[in-house]
Amino acid sequence: MNLKNKKILQIVASILVLGAVVVVANLQKERNTPTVSTEFMMDTVIMQKLYGKRAPQAIAEIEDRLRQYEKTCSMYIENSEIDLINQNAGKKFVEVSDDTLNMIVRAKEFSVQSNGLFDITIAPLTTLWGITSESPKVPSEQQISQARTLVNYQDILIQNHQVKLKHQGQAIDLGAVAKGAVCNIIREVAQKYNITKGYVSVGGNLIVLKDTPTGSNYRFGIRDPKGDESEYIATVLLNGKTMATSGAYERWFEQDGKRYHHIINPHTGYPAETDLLSVSVISEDGMLADCLSTTFFIEGKQAALAKMQEEEYQLIVVDLQGNVFYSPSLINNLQPNEDKPYQFIAYKESSEKQ
């Protein structure tokens, strides 16, 4: 670690833990005091830190909008639009709002691209495993194969503003989409209040406002998938960007000495057997980042390496051997934490195949 970084890290009074990310350093002197808020909603912790006179109003409005979003899109809230689609599976079409419709249409596109490995009709399997419940458990083989037959994004039927699932028992779970999708709402509200500085963490999905003119104020840490919550393997600047991370360490349970995590391979019905420890996707588009972090986590290393040079997003991928592959466009941005035993590789197509 160079001297400057060391100093920055020493100056930091407290390290803020935001789920998958850690705020490592404030690189500039505070020009004014931020407004900070921490709330529990959408089954996760929402941490906001915004600057500007109208930050308190913006924070309040973001909270309102996210609560509204949850009421509309959570499969666990009775009579939410998603719950109504699920209740009426195999029966009838349900009218949905523009935002819900757009989200479902986009999620379906990601399913097509991933050959169904990413699939928001995963709900029969996530419910069976009780992944987000108080008492998760390993289901029987028979239960799994039965639930698996219900998972199929092609059965999401869309007609004008209406959505229907083809078969009874099918259900939508937006768990892999929601935290990223709300980043766009957050950006919109911040713009409305002319707030250009600050960030919001939605359970580890991060949106950083586009700061002017010198760039973002903070370096954000990519969580060490093998370490505890405050440990990080590298830091990045995320000016105007969002970042989503998927990893087996985020939610899991243990049964008979074996660990089971919360990202399910729809083809097997079991937690994805992956050769990756974590996948972080950086993009202006929060929903894209969220969908792709989940997708690449399931698809694995080769699939992620093939997408290291995309324009729309950048990747930071940690494999089981402790290699960290990252998009070459991050070279001047990503700073490895040299206290960690990871090996960093800016990956180009021409790089030696792993």
Asked if 250 interacts with ligand ADP (CB under 6 A), we say yes
Cβ-Cβ contacts under 8 Å for 342 (sequence gap 6 or more): 233, 234, 318, 322, 323, 324, 336
Over 283-339, what HEC string results?
Answer: ECCHHHHHHHHHHHHHHCHHHHHCCCCCCCCEEEEEECCCEEEECHHHCCCCEECCC
CB 279 to Mg ion: min, Å: 9
Quick one: which segment of 61-69, 136-144, 187-195, 244-252 binds ligand ADP (CB under 6 A)? 244-252
Binders of ligand ADP among residues 121 to 180 (CB under 6 A) are: 122, 126, 131-132, 173, 175-176, 179
Smallest distance from ligand ADP to CB 279, Å: 9
99 binds, among Mg ion, ligand ADP, none (CB under 5 to 8 A by kind): none
Question: Which residues of this protein are in contact with Mg ion, per CB under 5 A?
Answer: 176, 246, 290, 293-294
Task: Please give the residues from 68 up to 97 whose contact with ligand ADP meets the rule CB under 6 A.
Answer: none
Shortest approach of ligand ADP to residue 231 CB, angstroms?
Answer: 18
Q: Which of residues 294-333 bind ligand ADP (CB under 6 A)?
A: 294, 298
Q: Is 280 one of the binding residues for ligand ADP (CB under 6 A)? A: no
Residue type, 152: N
Residue 151 site contact among ligand ADP, Mg ion, none (CB < 5 to 8 Å, cut-off depends on kind):
none
Among 67, 106, 251, 267, binds ligand ADP (CB under 6 A): 251
Residue nearest ligand ADP by beta-carbon distance: 175
Q: How far is the CB of 332 from ligand ADP (least distance, A)?
A: 27
210 binds ligand ADP (CB under 6 A): no
Q: State the nearest-atom distance from the C-beta of 55 to Mg ion, in Å.
A: 28
Choice between 25 and 243, CB closer to Mg ion: 243
Which among Mg ion, ligand ADP, none contacts residue 263 (Cβ within 5 to 8 A by kind)? Answer: ligand ADP
Residues near 24 by beta carbon (within 8 Å), at least 6 away in sequence: 8, 9, 12, 15, 218, 219, 220, 221, 232, 235
Smallest gap from residue 265 Cβ to ligand ADP (A): 6
Minimum CB separation of residue 199 from ligand ADP in Å reads 17
Would you tell me which residues interact with ligand ADP (CB under 6 A)?
118-120, 122, 126, 131-132, 173, 175-176, 179, 204, 246, 250-251, 262-264, 266, 290, 293-294, 298
